[in-house]
Structure 1
Amino acid sequence: MSLERPVTPNPYDLLPATASFSVTSADVTDGQPLKDDQVAALGNTSPQLSWSGAPEGTRSYVVTCFDPDAPTPSGFWHWVLVDLPAGCTSLDTGAGAEGGAGLPGGAFMCRNDGGPKAFMGAAPPEGDQVHRYYFVVHAVGEDSLGVDSDASAAVVSFNLAFKTLGRAIIYGTYQH
């Protein structure tokens, strides 16, 4: 049995178009392999992220990390951070640690597909193709997305489909 699958498109290209803005990271270089710190078995630490130029009317942010290359029909959600206040324009390395100590305002994390309400680093199956890890900052036009910490990543994404004003995207890769 071969684990080779066709490369899927950027999943955000399949959604309705929104404004774009900028995201940078001291830990992730766009399109390049992730550092060991962002790998589950080696560091399991969320990367530093900074963003600017969000669309007018942004009232909060959601930050996600999604792997569309996981061997499932629905990909794999590594991080779902909801309700960051509009004044927040960066996250320090490790902000996605379980418990969310140090998250600003009423921000909270939902479960990743591994189970915890935290960031989960890259963890593709051994020998599988290169996986892409999309770190996305979603600018939201409301103070709250309207979900709680028990919402699934799919429910968060569904709500984002109707409330997102813009997206800032950076991605890293990893192969085990």
Structure 2
Amino acid sequence: MPLPTWPSQLPCPLRANYAWTPSAQHERTAFGGPVEDSSRVFSSSRITVPCNLVLDRDQLSVLQAWIVLYDPSVNWSLIPADIGRGVQQYEARLIAIDIPRSLIGASHWSIPLDIEIRARDDGSDWQYTKEEAEMVIEFGGEYAYGDFGQAFENFINGDNLPE
């Protein structure tokens, strides 16, 4: 079953700041001595990104209805976010959404929320793979934006390489 998508009537969540919080990928255990053993528990990490929504009355109604239908604080959804590569769809869920909101201006609401991101919309890890990282280092940061998958395919196939 496909994941529910962010309603098209809603704007992309705005980053509250440039910070994000990664979840732990490793587990550390002490075996009764001063040296800890560290092992990787998860193959990919999740990040929590603080965001803010600025919505008018109609958009607020759409958000509330979407939350009732899909419960995005528990279930994963496709949510647009910008974590440094332009706005892309990510498998994410809303955590710490503060629906008791504040009115800004005469007709808009400011709603703080945190988005937990686990993967890109195609299921791949939100972080660069080694191949993607090599391509960005080789050809520059513009390959980190937009249709990265197509740029990567072009790179692998040797098509449309920059001069």
Output the TM-score relative to the length of structure 2. 0.30
Which is richer in helix?
2
Instruction: Give the structure, 1 or 2, with the largest relative contact order (CA under 8 Å, sep 6 or more).
Output: 1
TM-score by length of 1: 0.28
Greater Cα radius of gyration, structure 1 or 2 = 2
